Amino acid sequence: MKDLISITDLSIEELQELIIKAEDIIENPDKYCDKCKRKKLATLFFEPSTRTRLSFEAAMLELGGNVIGFSEASSSSASKGESVADTAQTISCYADIIAMRHPKEGAPLVAAKAASIPVINAGDGGHNHPTQTLTDLLTIFREKGRLNNLKIGFCGDLKFGRTVHSLITAMSRYEGNSFVLISPEELRIPGYIKKDVLERNGLPYKETDNWNDMPELDILYMTRVQRERFFNEADYLRLRDVFILTMDKLAIAKQDLCIMHPLPRVNEIERAVDDDKRACYFKQVLNGKYIRMALILKLLGID
């Protein structure tokens, strides 16, 4: 595999290989500190990012490599009208691997076709975010010890959340998983996810606007209910507090519930939850670095 554009580019066997590699990196960091010596990662970020960009950079530095790139489109020749394909061909002359985030869906695929080095999609519009999905899979595996036979709740903006769509797609490939989709009607999961992913694979799912299924959940994946997604202010104000995770709502949850969030958080998880042992969203951040280290090694063909 040369590039990673979508999570479906990876087989279940390859996903497991990456998880095993990431766990070995966690256990034996010194073994990997020079694996990418003299290698360069180019981070081409055409829109803002904190965790994704810095985790890629930290991953490459901890592998002994170097990082070049830019953190906004205005810092690149894109501001002069250069195409994504030309940028990718140019960067291929300077680096060994590219991580690209772009506001336009499909831009990393265009870059991958033009580049002579591996390209990783670090998020393209509302389309794909495969390394966040890898981060989520590693977190679930480390917390639950498996990726199958889990009841997973997704809460918040399920209509526009690319991380939700990608994780549902990934978890649909494992046996015995079921889904509870908690959102206001305005932000329900898109029809194509229900039809092409959940229903096509015969996966049990339930759409709801309440927390009644909380006691049964193994995983709770929170996302932000965004004011700008509503047609009027009154609907937003009516619904926003319903989808905030509080300690009161957690009182009926399993003691080994795994609470996840792709971040950034605004107010959808109250701060008191951070101290609960079930809160795993900052573990997710750290896991993102390790799984990206494993992915860089795989795409560069380094054991």
Q: Which of 101, 151, 162, 298 is catalytic?
A: 101
CA 68, CA 94: separation in Å to the nearest integer?
A: 9
Q: Which of 51, 173, 249, 254 is catalytic?
A: 51
CA 281 to each of CA 172, 265, 292: distance values in angstroms, whole numbers, following the listed order: 22, 10, 17
Other beta carbons less than 10 A from residue 171's beta carbon: 23
CA 95, CA 301: separation in Å to the nearest integer?
A: 15
Q: Which of 38, 80, 271, 277 is catalytic?
A: 80
Query: Is 101 in the active site?
Result: yes
Other beta carbons less than 10 A from residue 20's beta carbon: 12
Cα–Cα nearest to 283, from 139, 79, 74, 134: 139
Looking at residue 291, the DSSP 8-state letter turns out to be: H
CA 213, CA 285: separation in Å to the nearest integer?
A: 27
Query: Is 90 in the active site?
Result: no
Q: Which of 129, 142, 151, 292 is catalytic?
A: 129
Query: Is 127 in the active site?
Result: no
CA 72, CA 87: separation in Å to the nearest integer?
A: 14
Query: Is 52 in the active site?
Result: yes
CA 167 to each of CA 7, 10, 22, 124: distance values in angstroms, whole numbers, following the listed order: 9, 13, 18, 15
Q: Are 104 and 125 in contact (CB under 8 A)?
A: yes
Q: How far is CA 120 from the centre of its chain?
A: 13
User: Helix 107-114 to helix 84-91 angle, to the nearest 10 degrees?
Assistant: 50
Q: Which of 52, 131, 133, 223 is catalytic?
A: 52
Q: What single letter denotes the amino acid at residue 57?
A: E
Query: Is 102 in the active site?
Result: no
Q: Which residues fall within 8 angstroms of residue 1, CB to CB, at 6 or more apart?
A: 9, 10, 14, 298, 299
Other beta carbons less than 10 A from residue 62's beta carbon: 18
- List the catalytic residues: 51-52, 80, 101, 129
